[in-house]
Amino acid sequence: MMKSGLIGRSIQASRSPWLHEEEARAQGLALRYTLVDFDALSLPDSALGDQLARMRDEGYHGFNVTYPFKQAVMPLLDDLAESARIVGAVNTVAIRDGRLTGHNTDMIGFRESLRSGLPEARLDHVLQVGAGGAGAAVANALLSLGVRRLRLADVDVHRARELAERLRGHFLDAVIDIVAADRLNLDAVDGIVNATPIGMTSKPGTSIETAALRAEQWVADIVYFPRETQLLREARAAGCSVLDGTGMVIRQAAEAFEIITGHRADVARMNTAFERS
């Protein structure tokens, strides 16, 4: 029996166990995916190291990492893959021969979702709202796809500045600007990405003024619950092409499945499993 799981807080509603176990079942692999929920277990953040050691000693093949440990886990690992170093966060850990290696699959998840979901999207000039953990992965994905000018906005301007600094070190030819989150100008941009939590069922609303959207622009949301956020609904009504957050979540899970189990996941099958969940 292969063992995998998810470490985080408040993760009881996560669909990851279903996604990973269904994919394993379809491939004839025995896999148990366990939630290590620090809230449900009443554990302090300082227990993270002990939990990693326990999973290693119990023969886990790897695990996913989510809020609030995507950065805190980094110094506790033996190695970091290029994806984790570039993004500055870990959401997947592989365990091989007792060594823990951190990866980031959010970046490839967003990149592949954008590539397949909006293949015609013009990518010269993009506005990204939200520069948190997922935003770092999204910005790296956008720049790696050839975005030449990226405008970053975050109500926490320090987070936007810090991310811009890191990005400038990797993407020397791109122009990366910080813009004020309360005075967003959509005029010159080809597309807009929401990487804030605004639009989640628990945080309704939109992070941009959708009345300013034009039909030739594209709009992507990484929020996936609900699947069609207010932002996407209003962007669609304005004639924009839109991309929802489910492509990213499925593709990051498929990539994580392969890193953890060593077996390639079938993205279309995982998509069907996600819809069934």
Smallest gap, in angstroms, from Cβ of residue 156 to ligand NAD? 4
DSSP letter at 209?
A: -
Nearer to ligand NAD, 2 or 110 (CB): 110
HSE at residue 31, side-chain half, CA atoms within 13 A, is 26
The C-alpha atoms of residue 67 and residue 45 are separated, in whole angstroms, by 11
When binding is defined by CB under 6 A, the residue of 50, 58, 156, 165 that contacts ligand NAD is 156
Which residues, 6+ apart, have CB-to-CB distance to 200 below 8 Å? Answer: 223, 225, 226, 229
The C-alpha atoms of residue 158 and residue 252 are separated, in whole angstroms, by 27
Beta bridge partners of 218: 191, 241
When binding is defined by CB under 6 A, the residue of 133, 151, 189, 219 that contacts ligand NAD is 133
Q: Does 217 bind ligand NAD (CB under 6 A)?
A: no
Instruction: Tell me the number of residues near ligand NAD by CB under 6 A.
Output: 28
When binding is defined by CB under 6 A, the residue of 23, 106, 112, 255 that contacts ligand NAD is 106
The single residue listed with the structure tokens 């009504």 is 237
Sole window of 41-49, 172-180, 226-234, 248-256 interacting with ligand NAD (rule: CB under 6 A): 248-256
Q: Does 8 bind ligand NAD (CB under 6 A)?
A: no
3-state secondary structure of 252: helix
3-state secondary structure of 7: strand
Q: Does 255 bind ligand NAD (CB under 6 A)?
A: no
The C-alpha atoms of residue 163 and residue 107 are separated, in whole angstroms, by 14
Q: Does 141 bind ligand NAD (CB under 6 A)?
A: no
Query: Residues 107-126: x/- map of binding to ligand NAD (CB under 6 A)?
Result: --x-----------------
The C-alpha atoms of residue 50 and residue 38 are separated, in whole angstroms, by 12
Catalytic member of 3, 20, 70, 103: 70
- Residue 163: name the closest of 183, 179, 148 by CA: 179
Q: Does 200 bind ligand NAD (CB under 6 A)?
A: yes
Joined tokens for residue 172: 């020397």
Q: Does 167 bind ligand NAD (CB under 6 A)?
A: no
Stretch 36-95 residues interacting with ligand NAD (CB under 6 A) = none
- Residue 154: name the closest of 137, 173, 129, 190 by CA: 129
Residue 203 is among the residues annotated as catalytic for this protein: no
Q: Does 207 bind ligand NAD (CB under 6 A)?
A: yes
Residue nearest to ligand NAD (CB): 132
Beta bridge partners of 177: 151
Q: Does 252 bind ligand NAD (CB under 6 A)?
A: yes
Nearer to ligand NAD, 3 or 20 (CB): 20
For residues 123-139, one letter each, b for 16 or more C-beta atoms within 10 angstroms of the residue's C-beta and e for the rest, the string is beebbbbbbbbbbbbbb
When binding is defined by CB under 6 A, the residue of 24, 73, 87, 129 that contacts ligand NAD is 129
Instruction: Give the footprint of ligand NAD on this chain (CB under 6 A).
Output: 106, 109, 129-135, 153-156, 159, 181, 195-198, 200, 207, 222-224, 245, 248-249, 252
Active site residues: 70
